Structure formats: C-alpha cells, structure tokens
A and B are shown apart, each in its own frame.
Chain A
Amino acid sequence: MTVESDGVLRVEGRRAAAHALIGMAGASPGGRSAVELLQEDRRLQLAAEGADARRAARRAHPPSAPLSA
C-alpha cells in the first residue's frame, strides 16, 4: 500500500465516520426543526433570566413592611 493510497483510505474513513453522525440523536419531538428547537430553548432561557432578575430586584428592594397599629 502506498502512502498516497493510505492517505485516501484515511480520508474516506473520516468521511464515513462523520456521515455516521447523521440522525444519531433520534427524531425531533413533534417533528420540529433544529432552528425551532433552538428558538424554544432561547425563549425558555430568556424567561429563566427574567425570573432571576426579578428575584434579584426583590432582594435588592424588598417591599416595605406594612405599618402596624
């Protein structure tokens, strides 16, 4: 086997390994696309960050205690 043919074999092996990754994660729930899944994830992330910010704001500025009689 020549160095050149060995090199060709190595390239083909890399290509086969990379193509074996196609579809490896399974089927998307509800048939949603990759972009749709990412958009949903980012909406959830934004909601989590918003909730975190609100908690931080409440800690920094707690509501004043009601005056007792």
Chain B
Amino acid sequence: MPEDPGAATESLDVLDASAILALLLGEPGAEFVADAIAGAATMSTVTYAEVATVLIRNDLELGALAQVGAQVRIEPFTATDANTAAALIVPGELLGLSLAGRACLALAIRLNARVLTADSAWTKRDIRVKVVLIRAKGS
C-alpha cells in the first residue's frame, strides 16, 4: 500500500537500505529522509550491515553511516523479526527481496511503522506494511 511522500512524518518510520543510501549520496528524496530522521526514525541492525557493506565495497565514507546511527534508533534483529522475515519468503521472493529487505519489513511489522524506501519495486505488491517512496517515480 504505497503512499506518496510529502505528508509530515508524525509516526515512526523504518528506513530501508535504499533510503539511507539515497540520503548519504545526496540523491533526490534525501531531504525527505532527513526530515524523517529529525522526526522519529529507526532501522534494523541488518539494514545497518547492508548499508555498511555497500559503503565499504564502493570505497565510500563508512563514518557517514555512524552519523546516521547516532540520530536514529537502531533496532536489534530479534527472534520475532527472524520468524516474520522467514514467513515473508513467498511474497519476498515475488518482490525479489533479500534477507535484509525482509528484515526491514519484519521490523516495520513489529513496530507497526511505515517503511521509507527509494526502491519503487517495494510498492508493487501488498506486503502488509505501509511503504512510502521517498521520491516521485522517475526522479
């Protein structure tokens, strides 16, 4: 159930890896993510690991992620999340979701939060949580 960005973020937002990378690379939608962080945002430890891997692999500034971590709540990947992520394998496979992607969705389900993403593929199926694209499609 995708939503359009623009509305003020009063509720808790879960950041997926693409949203955090879009922020750190200064892509379109970065300001939307920054506003969410200034409000109330969180990420899974699994998402943190995924973003760190991409930064290291591409010789980007890893310290930038630590700065994000100082401003958002970092949630552990719990046994509950693990069970939920496993249960998402069928819709996850249809979406092409990695384990890290399913961990992000599992956290959003546990916290009854919405997910912020830069990946429009996440909005194409009903995956039990509200998904917000951080930028208009095509930008």
A27 to B54, CA, bound (A): 13
DSSP majority for the A interface? helix
Contacts of B71 in A (CB 8 A): 14, 17-18, 21
Q: A25-B60, A25-B65, A34-B18 are in contact. Are A15 and B25 (CB under 8 A)?
A: no
Max count, chain B CB within 10 A of own CB: residue among A11, A19, A28, A34: A34
A42 to B65, CA, bound (A): 19
Q: Size range of the interface on A?
A: 20 to 34
A14 to B9, CA, bound (A): 14
Which residue of B35, B58, B64, B98 contacts A37 across the interface (Cβ within 8 Å)? B58
Q: A34-B25, A37-B54 are in contact. Are A25 and B38 (CB under 8 A)?
A: no
Interface positions, chain A 11-37, Cβ under 8 Å from B, are 11, 14-15, 17-29, 33-35, 37
30 pairs from A and B in contact (CB 8 Å cutoff): A14-B71, A15-B38, A17-B38, A18-B37, A19-B31, A19-B34, A21-B64, A21-B68, A22-B30, A22-B31, A23-B25, A23-B26, A24-B64, A25-B55, A25-B60, A25-B61, A25-B65, A26-B61, A26-B64, A28-B25, A29-B58, A33-B22, A34-B19, A34-B21, A34-B22, A34-B27, A35-B119, A38-B18, A38-B50, A45-B98
